[in-house]
A and B are shown apart, each in its own frame.
Chain A
């Protein structure tokens, strides 16, 4: 298990205060953060830009040293026993970095495999298996500079798996990828956790990706943990507003009055707009679901329903809400 306990990271930043004057200031990127990564589980680390997600991943993967607190991987300290920890973890980042463009896909994997102490037939078999797994067998001997963005990203995944890590950190892995490739990648990530038992930590700006993949989500804001739960529980726990859209062919004064009364009774508010095709769109927004009373009301007024659509709060709303609340 990977255990992060009360980790804090402070950067010293040089600021220009005059022509030749500089001042050192301290910026706390991560503050008192604790979490665990367990085999077979995918956890999401969310927050708006500058929340400390990438710093956290870099600390877990030994690239950065925490200012205080501890990170242990299977009982080994990430700072003191970094060589051991490095052999158990790996990281895949979005974008097109972390690969040698002049080398072929196979040569990249051979090089990185050697850096992890792999060699001979064992390494050859592992490379073939990974190339097959990420669908790059046909392009294995083509230089990476001729790869498409999606192919480079798939090779990155193979590189991230070359040492068969127990703990995998995915930092915006689908950044800039086309929808079908991103979907394929998500499927692959899911299999890595469910079939190979890898513990995965994911950061992504695509919230639906996190909702789809993660068993648990940690939301951090300005380096501090503000919430931790399953994606479903997080969206329910905050009682955020549900939005109800209904389109009706006509709007009488009495119906308008009753809709206002309904919204007030449920602690919400209503908005009515006339659409281009001479119908009326009623939007009811409130913390409680008003679908059933609305349908009863429309039935009582003999008003047909042309369209009905409910919009539940998303994980994105939760993050924005928490960021606003903390910032206020």
Chain B
């Protein structure tokens, strides 16, 4: 007697996006407005008191952004989501909702360099202390847990590429210690990996990457899995204690299994302000409609290019879990059998100098600090994204001096291979 849930391709196009109630517009309208009129004074009071569903002001919520939120919540299989200005904002609001000054969280050491910076430096100002664990060794997460640990954070496929994290093993540790398990699913997208199915409680995204997919809009999302019971848990006062901001309301109780997403919105987004523009939400939504098609092509193309590079005389190693010889191939088969994503790294025999030359010589690959574009992208992390890290941190993060990262786009693979060949010849 259950209502059958539509398939992933259908959700990617339809979830959250019914025709506009007022006009019948079929594409999601860009509600480019700061504010929304109230029906009357009582309606305004209901909205401000979180007693009615509706729109007040676009810093707190916007109908275009809401379509994006429901779309991504549906694709990940979560209860609710919150769209924010960037992937960093998604991480920030997530930790703001979970941590108090003096608290700790355990994070995998292999992460996007920007997240490493955020955790190591910016978060120190709030008294949130990161404790690093070995991405390849789930027991190191357990060893890092203390009574102050409020969250565990990993990337499902870790930047700068080539690492698949054993989500189930880390989820089991998080469950055992009753700690929310946060997964950054940016690199995989829900098409390749759905972390809630492997025990995640919260998912964050940089929608800038594969969700938007066209390199035109920065944005982020927080998705609530509805799986962690915050109500009555004194460790999480944002969700379990009466909130003075809302006349004593207990958010985790009032909003049940989507209380975390609501708390991120009404305590985080409302007061800290990193709202997503409705125009960006529209572009990201447009991108998501083709997510299943693009992610498959990204992965297929990446495998073709990685296989080619593996045999190249100037390359010492290629780290792509789609390759049969890769150390993460078995984990990739388990977690992302459709493909291992667009992004991977390789090592140049010529080291740092060869990396700098290669990015200069490429003509089709764009040298820039992003991933997940229709265009193929290249970066030399040691001289750019990971520049601020120490040499030891660079190597630990998989961004040593000889490492080059590619984000393979949707072009013809022969053109990509030709461009890499000519640039390697000249490097």
Q: Do A and B actually bind? A: no
B interface list, Cβ under 8 A from A: none
